[in-house]
Amino acid sequence: MDFLPFTRPDIDDETIAGVVEVLRSGWITSGPQVKAFEAALGEYLGGRDVRVFSSGTAALEVGLRMAGIGEGDEVITTPLTWVATANVILQVGARPVFVDIDPVTRNIDLDRVEAAITERTRALLPVDLAGLPVDRDRLHAIAQRHGLRVLEDAAQAMGATWRGRRIGSFGDYVALSFHANKNMTSTEGGALVLPAGADLARCERWRLQGVQRFPDGTMDVDLPGGKSNLTDVAARIGLGQLARLDTFNARRRDLARRYFAGLDRSLGLELPVEDFEQSNWHMFQLVLPVQRMAGGRSAFIEAMSKRRIGIGVHYPALHRFTLFRQLGWNSGDFPHAERVGDAIVTLPLFPRMTEDDVVRVCDAVAEVTRNALAEGGAR
């Protein structure tokens, strides 16, 4: 039986042929394909200004810099996310301030945000976990009341919507990711959506060494930019993927529906919010009843692997990592994020999956969980 990974990119032949054309063109770093990709993304997002980067992490960091976040500032974010979300806050000299999650949505609990705001708070950095959007109306209302910038970590939310509007088509700064495990990919890559009036040339200088070139051949450097430009090879892949994104996401929604129909909820599995209007279903995640399961999550993952099914973990509660414990955060600070982070698993979900694949996963989840519960109860 073939191994079923938790995700797999889908690159069509036309895109592969397009990459070959780019390679043969002699212009493989940032060039015409990057400009075309930025224009296509901008059109998809309602005409907004977009600049692409070598990663979503780089887009997040430049977004913070463009928003004026720096030394001594505080940025409020969630502890249940990929560590890049908090790392970039440290990279610009600011301090991440974590707020616990809503245990139902698994996104940052907006009811708790205002209590975390201090005189040093400068920005909110929410994450759309698994592609389920944070409540944008409440988010921006809080930011407006307190005069804060918003940088949306929408790395997992490409193609998701909020009340009929695409994530990234409105708001302040929005960072996207095109990593290989995302709903659309450029192999590696990301993008920053900028608000009206933003200094696009400054964004580009942050992206590439701070260099400003002049018509007479001279140059200047006025800021310590990085090296995070996207290649034309990656941009050509992104263009092919963007054209298929809505089709990809429709297939993901269909597969998610089948998971809801096929999973045995009597086993104590906590399923995600059943949102087929706004989520892009980047991931389908369960919270296991690990305290009652023999061997806990690790045994579950091993048993699923023996059945040739890949399981992901997205994500541990990051405030318990050494780096953030050194900043004063400790276990017990955010009990909802810790409980979910200790028990969450990501099931396979990607457009080329079949209905039989979903049945196979559901049957295996039921068998493995039932066995672990029985063994756990017997001890």
DSSP 64: H
User: What pLDDT is stored for residue 378 in this prediction?
Assistant: 58
CA distance readout (Å), 210 to 224, 227, 278, 309: 6, 9, 38, 46
At 1, the pLDDT band (50, 70, 90 cuts) reads confident
Picking from 364, 342, 319, 379, the residue whose alpha carbon sits closest to that of residue 6 is 364
Residue ranges of alpha helices (H) inside the chain are 13-25, 32-44, 56-66, 84-91, 110-116, 136-146, 200-207, 232-242, 245-262, 296-306, 322-325, 335-343, 355-378
Per-residue pLDDT reduced to its tens digit, 290-305: 999 999 999 999 999 9
325: which 2 tokens? Answer: 């414990």
pTM of the prediction?
0.96
Instruction: State the Cα–Cα distance between residues 43 and 7, nearest whole angstrom.
Output: 28
User: In the CATH scheme, what is the homologous superfamily, with its name and number, of domain 245-378?
Assistant: Aspartate Aminotransferase, domain 1 (3.90.1150.10)
Look up residue 317 and give its amino acid.
A
User: What pLDDT is stored for residue 379 in this prediction?
Assistant: 54
Per-residue pLDDT reduced to its tens digit, 351-370: 999 999 999 999 999 999 99
At 377, the pLDDT band (50, 70, 90 cuts) reads confident
DSSP 267: G
Picking from 76, 154, 73, 160, the residue whose alpha carbon sits closest to that of residue 114 is 76
Percent of the chain at pLDDT exceeding 90 = 99
Answer positive or negative: Cα dihedral of 69, 70, 76, 77.
positive
> Mean pLDDT across the stretch 269-291?
98
- Average per-residue pLDDT for the chain: 97
Per-residue pLDDT reduced to its tens digit, 8-47: 999 999 999 999 999 999 999 999 999 999 999 999 999 9
Percent of the chain at pLDDT exceeding 70 = 99
- Domain layout of the chain by residue ranges: 13-242, 245-378
> What is 13-242's CATH number?
3.40.640.10
Q: Return the active site residues.
A: 182
